[in-house]
Amino acid sequence: MPFALSLHAGDPARLATPLLAVALPSDKTVPRTLAPLDKALGGALTRAVKQKDFKGNRDETLLLFAHGNGPQRVLLVGLGPSPEPGAIVRAASLAGRKGNSMGIERMGFWAEGLDGTAIENAAIGLSLGGWEYTELRTQPPASERPKPLVTAVVCVDSSKGGAETALANGAAVAEGQRIARTLAMMPGNLCTPSFIADTARDIAKRHKLKLTVFGRKEMEKLGMGSFLAVAQGTPQKPKFIVLEYRGGGADDAPVVLVGKGLCFDSGGISIKPADRMEWMKFDMSGAAGVLGAMEAIARMKLKINVVGLVGSTTNMPSAMAMNPGDVVRASNGKTIEIINTDAEGRLVLADVLAYAARFKPQAVVDAATLTGAVVVALGNIAVGVLGNDQGVIDEILAAGKRGGEPGWQLPMWPEYRDQIKSDVADMKNVGGRGAGTITAALFLAEFTQDYKWAHLDIAGTAYSETDMISLPRGPTGVPVRTFVEFVRGRVR
Ligand code: BES
Ligand code: ZN
Ligand code: ZN
């Protein structure tokens, strides 16, 4: 169900709502504008701050009860010391999550001096805070069921000056992230390549986009021997999805977004250990990010052409599966020796990236849960960023920063290329123990020679194995915002 967002201009004390979240930075006095609200709380707000029951630390909350016709409850939420854009998203997400767990359907949100960017971030946070994947749980009878949070109101000084647009943009991004998170959270037996293609179809229908879905036969005709090598071991129908949004001029070169869509990665014949293998349902997070970003971009009606490409299949061991030592030919004619069948993402992306050239793109950005090595290098904090063009890489790093999905660049020095030299083919699909994220990107670079390209390795950031207070265990929505911010940056 879509999440409804609206604005309330004026005094937050006059907003009739079961819950108002008030976000405050750490160690500050209560702003003057909150005097009427403090009155409705019988002075509890100033007392809580003065007596340090509430310090405004990041992720800190305190619930107060009010009287009168305004908010029934006030939830203080800490912003931490420096209220940068990420802090607003985080506080609003936490507020939304609390509101949702309290079983109230609507809530308000206030923070001091919200500008356009902050309104957008508050909207995103509230919507995503209310996000929960409950579809597969048996629900209690309707009378006992806690109501999900479905509406939030952002309090602003005045609804003029672009506040409505900022709210709508936030709602668009959040809707994209909801799609991405839901797809990623869904188990592999439900979120199949066909399901991903159906989701692309829904997006195409909703926004009148052109959609092409290639199956095994069409991919054979395109000579996609690398992608098909992965798909030969699974009974699932592989899907190569091409989604085209035309917001720019007819002759304008598009931005192409590419996503790895492995609905499950068992490793194939080079099978993974059983322990924690279930997390490999998230191996389609790049694809989910592309579809989520396309939804957001189409909702925002950005004046630019954007193509979304998704390569989707599953990686399974079977009598039909590819074997270590096999050599396959990708659609750009290059041959690949498969050393490890678990390095399947790059095999899928090879053909998808080669296909991207036919759009004569202004830039191509791919996102993939590609290597465990990026988790070793950067943990769960930063996206690994690589590519063949420093300009595009810098734009991606800036976009990630704006969107609260920070990235960190790793080098693509030619010295590393020796690691993927093969005895029999043009390259092999793994580069040994060291610098796994870099050798994976150098492999991809063999298929991106015709355009400017950046690669996001999101294996450490697309999902979280721990509950992060403002974010439940599971998908984070990365890289939707990086994609969207990158594309927006190219419109201006
Ligand atoms: N999907 C995995 C990468 C991954 C690992 C994602 C951990 C999320 C968390 C990828 O297909 C893979 O298995 N990569 C191998 C490559 C290796 C065989 C060179 C890896 O990282 O171990
Ligand atoms: Zn793998
Ligand atoms: Zn994988």
Q: How far does residue 262's CA lie from ligand 3's centre (Å)?
A: 6
Residues whose CB falls within 8 Å of the CB of residue 218, separated by 6 or more in sequence, listed in order: 240
Q: How far apart (Å, rounded) are the C-alpha atoms in residues 363 and 199?
A: 25
Q: How far apart (Å, rounded) are the C-alpha atoms in residues 336 and 422?
A: 8
User: Residue 224, SS3?
Assistant: coil
What pLDDT, on a 0 to 100 scale, did the predictor assign at position 220?
A: 98
Task: Reply yes or no on whether the pLDDT at 60 is more than 90.
Answer: yes
pLDDT band for 158, please (50, 70, 90 cuts). Answer: confident
Helix (H) / strand (E) element for 261: namely strand 255-265
99 and 8 co-located in one domain: yes
Question: How high is the mean pLDDT of the chain?
Answer: 97
What pLDDT, on a 0 to 100 scale, did the predictor assign at position 130?
A: 87
Q: What is the pLDDT of residues 344-369, one digit of tens each?
A: 999 999 999 999 999 999 999 999 99
Mutate which of 230, 260, 266, 342 for ligand 1 pocket (most atoms within 8 A of beta carbon): 342
Domain extent at residue 468 = 174-491
- 3-state SS string for 280-298: HHHHHHHHHHHHHHHHHHH
What pLDDT, on a 0 to 100 scale, did the predictor assign at position 159?
A: 74
Would you say 468 and 412 are in contact if contact means Cβ atoms under 8 Å apart?
Answer: no
146 and 229 co-located in one domain: no
Note whether residue 408 is domain-resident: yes
Q: What is the pLDDT of residues 100-126, one digit of tens each?
A: 999 999 999 999 999 999 999 999 999
Tokens, residue 99: 């509101």
pLDDT band for 83, please (50, 70, 90 cuts). Answer: low
What pLDDT, on a 0 to 100 scale, did the predictor assign at position 86?
A: 83
Per the residue annotation, which of 272, 329, 334, 417 is the catalytic one?
272
Sign, CA torsion 38/43/46/52? negative
Q: How far apart (Å, rounded) are the C-alpha atoms in residues 261 and 292?
A: 13
Average pLDDT over residues 391-399: 98
Q: Looking at the CA of 457, name the nearest ligand.
A: 1
Atom of ligand 1 nearest to the CA of 345: 11
By the 10 Å C-beta count (0-12 exposed, 13-18 middle, 19+ buried), 333 is classed as exposed
387 and 434 co-located in one domain: yes
Q: How far apart (Å, rounded) are the C-alpha atoms in residues 34 and 44?
A: 12
What pLDDT, on a 0 to 100 scale, did the predictor assign at position 161?
A: 79
83 and 185 co-located in one domain: no
pLDDT band for 145, please (50, 70, 90 cuts). Answer: confident
Q: What is the pLDDT of residues 8-43, one digit of tens each?
A: 999 999 999 999 999 999 988 999 999 999 999 999
Q: Looking at the CA of 340, name the nearest ligand.
A: 1
184 and 319 co-located in one domain: yes
Assign residue 71 the CATH number of its domain: 3.40.220.10
Task: Report the C-alpha dihedral over residues 74, 83, 58, 477, rounded to 10 degrees.
Answer: 100
CA-nearest residue, atom 7 of ligand 1 = 372
By the 10 Å C-beta count (0-12 exposed, 13-18 middle, 19+ buried), 320 is classed as exposed
429 and 281 co-located in one domain: yes
Q: How far does residue 226's CA lie from ligand 2's centre (Å)?
A: 14
199 and 146 co-located in one domain: no
Q: Which of 122, 137, 161 is the last residue of a domain?
A: 161
401 and 485 co-located in one domain: yes
Q: Which of 161, 191, 214 is the last residue of a domain?
A: 161
CA-nearest residue, atom 17 of ligand 1 = 343
Q: What is the pLDDT of residues 292-309, one digit of tens each?
A: 999 999 999 999 999 999
346 catalytic per annotation: yes
145 catalytic per annotation: no
What pLDDT, on a 0 to 100 scale, did the predictor assign at position 85?
A: 74
Mutate which of 371, 419, 420 for ligand 1 pocket (most atoms within 8 A of beta carbon): 371
126 and 212 co-located in one domain: no
Number of domains making up the chain: 2
469 and 362 co-located in one domain: yes
Question: Which residue in this structure is represented by tokens 């179809």?
Answer: 201
Note whether residue 67 is domain-resident: yes
Average pLDDT over residues 468-481: 94
Assign residue 283 the CATH number of its domain: 3.40.630.10
Q: How far apart (Å, rounded) are the C-alpha atoms in residues 380 and 464?
A: 8
Would you say 406 and 482 are in contact if contact means Cβ atoms under 8 Å apart?
Answer: no
Atom of ligand 1 nearest to the CA of 440: 19
Q: How far does residue 406's CA lie from ligand 2's centre (Å)?
A: 24
155 and 179 co-located in one domain: no
What pLDDT, on a 0 to 100 scale, did the predictor assign at position 269?
A: 98
CB contact burial 268-289 (16+ within 10 A = b; e otherwise): bbbebeeeeeeebbbbbbbbbb
pLDDT band for 239, please (50, 70, 90 cuts). Answer: very high
What pLDDT, on a 0 to 100 scale, did the predictor assign at position 15?
A: 98
What pLDDT, on a 0 to 100 scale, did the predictor assign at position 82?
A: 76
210 CB neighbour count, 10 Å cutoff: 11
DSSP state of 270: S
What pLDDT, on a 0 to 100 scale, did the predictor assign at position 2?
A: 78
Among candidates 468, 405, 470, which has minimal Cα distance to 95? 470
CA-nearest residue, atom 5 of ligand 1 = 372
What pLDDT, on a 0 to 100 scale, did the predictor assign at position 188?
A: 98
Q: How far apart (Å, rounded) are the C-alpha atoms in residues 420 and 66?
A: 65
Task: Reply yes or no on whether the pLDDT at 243 is more than 70.
Answer: yes
Peptide bond into 479 cis (omega under 30): yes
Q: What percent of the chain has pLDDT over 90?
A: 95
Q: Which of 100, 129, 161 is the last residue of a domain?
A: 161
Note whether residue 466 is domain-resident: yes
CB under 6 Å to ligand 1: residues? 265, 283, 340, 342-345, 369-373, 430, 436, 459
